[in-house]
Amino acid sequence: MREEFMQFHCIAKRILSVSGLAVAALLSTSALAGAAEKITIMVGGYEKQIYLPAKLTESLGYFKEEGLDVELLNEAAGVDAENQLLAGAVHGVVGFYDHCVDLQAKGKFVQSVVQFSQAPGEVELVSSKYPDVTSFKDLKGKSLGVTGLGSSTNFLTLFMASKGGLGPGEVVTVPVGAGGTFIAAMQQDHIQAGMTTEPTISRMLKTGEARVLVDLRTVEKTREALGGTYPAASLYMETAWVQSHKEEVQKLANAFVKTLKYINTHSAAEIAEQMPKDFYVGDKEGYIKALEAGKGMFTPDGVMPEDGPKTVLAVLSEFSKNVKGKKIDLAKTYTTEFVINAK
């Protein structure tokens, strides 16, 4: 009788063990099925204040709140980020909206799904070695720094040169990136002027090595220089991917709209506390001061400014052989569907 009991006990243990493994396997499979697919977003220099919403959203935990697994990748030049998107290496880009217009002229359809800013946040700095340069027309024959050839800084530089009366070839644009590489290029006189963003602007003004020639950091100054609101930093994605992944895009929009509201309801000091310390480049006070002066460039809700796309098209049509004379359907370069739903 005892032997029969022991035999039954062993069989029961084996059944329970197998059942436990089956349940564990079932739970594991269920967890995998519910795990979010990783979304990769390339940022055209996430330490730049113009692209601050990308890293801030991550820091505030808003991606995770939406159930998203988002990986932010850093790329110094927006044009290189654009190339990664077209190659299928990333799902989205945090970069300038003007790429959406430029690419449509080349037969490729991408669209801004969240519009971060309504002004470029850029400045054309001129080296203090050239005190006689007081306007763009004085830059004839000079080398001008841009983040990359085909980048938004290149677009804006060529437009400002054209507006200043300079013809093709009368200035040379040189790809020098931002931050330390931009500063070194100006210090070594490889460039005599250049377009860059914060915190590089403040670093050069603080040392007195450069001064502002054209300021595009506020909506008012942008209208004065470019003739209208210029939507710049955005999350843009391939239109086909947006249409086939509406649930994921909506969650991204939800997260970014929360961040834009945070920016518009918190001080520059509070925002700076959420950012990686190395973004300060050793000058936290300067970083906060620059952010306080420039955070008005960000939209409060991610909605495209009504007059913005027309301004961008006018700027690109002024000098770009790709865009000039082409029929561009601006309605296909952005969507407000997701940010409106997020509100």
- What are the tens digits of pLDDT across the range 229-271? 999 999 999 999 999 999 999 999 999 999 999 999 999 999 9
pLDDT at 36: 65
CA distances from 230 to 67, 218, 221, 316, 331 (A): 32, 10, 11, 12, 16
Which ranges in the chain are annotated with CATH 3.40.190.10? 38-120+230-342, 122-216
Sign of CA dihedral 263, 225, 191, 132: negative
**Mean pLDDT (the chain, rounded):** 89
Percent pLDDT > 90 in the chain is 77
Give the pLDDT of residue 78: 61
Distances (CA, A) of 140 to 137, 161, 172, 328: 6, 9, 9, 31
Backbone angles phi, psi at 39, to 5 degrees: -110, 125
**Mean pLDDT, to the nearest integer, of 21-48?**
62
Kindly state the average pLDDT of the residues 130-149: 95
In which order are the strands placed within the sheet that holds 38-43? 69-74, 38-43, 92-96, 233-238, 110-115
Residue 299 has pLDDT above 70, yes or no: yes
Write the DSSP string, 17-37. Answer: HHHHHHHHHHHHHHHHHHSPP
* Residue type present at position 272: A
Residue 319, CA distances (Å) to 61, 158, 169, 194, 315 in order: 42, 7, 12, 18, 8
**Helix 200-207 × helix 284-294 angle, to 10°:** 120
Confidence class for position 298, pLDDT limits 50, 70, 90: very high
Tokens of 196: 């860059």
Domain 38-120+230-342 has CATH 3.90.1150.50: no
- When pLDDT is cut at 50, 70 and 90, the band that residue 80 belongs to is confident
Domain 122-216 sits in CATH 3.40.50.300: no
Q: What letter represents residue 198's amino acid?
A: E
pLDDT score of 45:
86
Out of 68-77, 122-131, 215-224, 295-304, which region has the weakest mean confidence (pLDDT)? Answer: 68-77
CA-to-CA distance for 75 and 79, rounded, in angstroms? 9
Of the candidates 302, 294, 178, 177, the one whose C-alpha atom is nearest the C-alpha of residue 234 is 302
Q: How long a stretch of residues is the chain?
A: 343
284: pLDDT strictly greater than 50: yes
302: left (phi over 0), alpha (psi -120 to 50) or beta: left
Could you tell me the pTM of the whole model? 0.85
- At 150, the pLDDT band (50, 70, 90 cuts) reads confident
